[in-house]
Amino acid sequence: MNRRVRIRAIALVATAVAVIAPCGFASTAAASPDWGVIYASWKRASDIGRMQEGGVQSVRWPLFWNLVEPNEGNFNWRVTDQVIGAFASRGIQVLPAVYGTPAWAGKRPGTPPLRTAHVRSAWMEFLRQLVQRYGPGGEFWTNPTLYPLQLLGGPIVPIETWQVWNEPNLPQYFSRPSVRRYGRLLRISHDALEAQDPGAEIVLAGMPGLADRPAWKFLRRLYEVPGIRRDFDAVALHPYAPSIKLLRLELRRMRAVMKAHGDGSSELWVTELGWGSGPRGRTKLDKGARGQARMLRNSFELIRRHSRQWNVPHVYWFQWRDPPDGSVECGWCRRAGLIGQGGNPKPSWQAFQRFTGALP
């Protein structure tokens, strides 16, 4: 599928001194990919300035439905306004990964909102509300009491690209993984997003390659769903691997499936990639502090070298900062950050900045 060409006129009624930043994600696959990070917290405003100084151009941020609408029809935009506004003020684009079903709509956050017509309608309404608030010409950018007041004169960086769900080939994120059910979720999500913003770009949920249900097999079956190719613009992969050799294999297999289904011109986004700085050998993805930096250098260099061949315009490191102890179950994830819990940079942060150009 060719990436759609979007021509639009955006009327933004904001303060006269506001600067309009480039909308959406630029396609950079012809050169070097855009190097981004996963940002799972929102309480450290100083982190965002540090990212800007380090050359981070975009962040992938989990936007949880269950936190924004914990009670049906009651939308709490406080955190999303803070996060999206803080990044916009620094000219950093946000890629929202939208998922997380509230308790009133499903048994747990990983339950896809498909069970009843009422739940499906509620999910679609949530997506429409997101675009109305943060999309081009959205209320957050145009209402004088919101972003213009929060950051007078700050760049306007509307969200035009949305990632629908997270890791649907894993049961912890998508109850009873099913290509058919994810295809159904993708279709109604596409319809809701594009009804509100005809130029919206939709990225598939990122999928781990080396899983019980490998990403490329899931993708192959997804392409077999009639009409599905009209419902997304880019494919996404989470190529976690203990070695660079296996990382290369995952990327090649995904690209091969895309080509086999006539979708070779579409982009392949790497929306999660990383290793831990925990003691080497503790898990397959723990490499020690220096080893983590080495894996970042080697993986980024591999992707940069093949960025045209594989059409990879965006790579997101998992993750920006080590999470608090006990906040995640994944062992190596506790030390996956470029920055330690206390704020000290790791060797991997220096390595990252050399790819962004912030360091020589």
**Domains present along the chain, CATH in parentheses:** 21-356 (3.20.20.80)
Q: Which amino acid is at 17?
A: V
Closest C-alpha to 36, from 350, 313, 275:
313
Q: What is the C-alpha separation between 146 and 9, in angstroms, rounded?
A: 22
Residue with tokens 């097999």: 217
pLDDT for residue 15: 31
Q: What is the crossing angle of helices 117-134 and 179-196, to 10°? A: 40
> From the DSSP assignment, how many helices (H) and strands (E) are in the chain?
12, 11
Closest C-alpha to 121, from 159, 69, 170:
69
Q: What is the C-alpha separation between 332 and 345, in angstroms, rounded?
A: 17
Burial, 2: exposed, middle or buried (Cβ in 10 Å; 0-12, 13-18, 19+)? Answer: exposed
Q: For residue 93, how many other CB atoms are within 10 A of its CB?
A: 25
Chain centre distance of CA 35: 12
pLDDT for residue 86: 93
Closest C-alpha to 150, from 78, 58, 53:
78
Burial letters 131-164, b for 16+ CB under 10 A, else e: bebbbbbbebbbeeebbbeebeebbbbbbbbbbb
pTM: 0.92
Residue with tokens 């936007």: 63
Q: What is the C-alpha separation between 22 and 2, in angstroms, rounded?
A: 21
Tokens of 287: 């490499």
269 bridge partner residues? 236
Q: Which residues of the chain have pLDDT under 50?
A: 1-22, 28-30
pLDDT for residue 327: 73
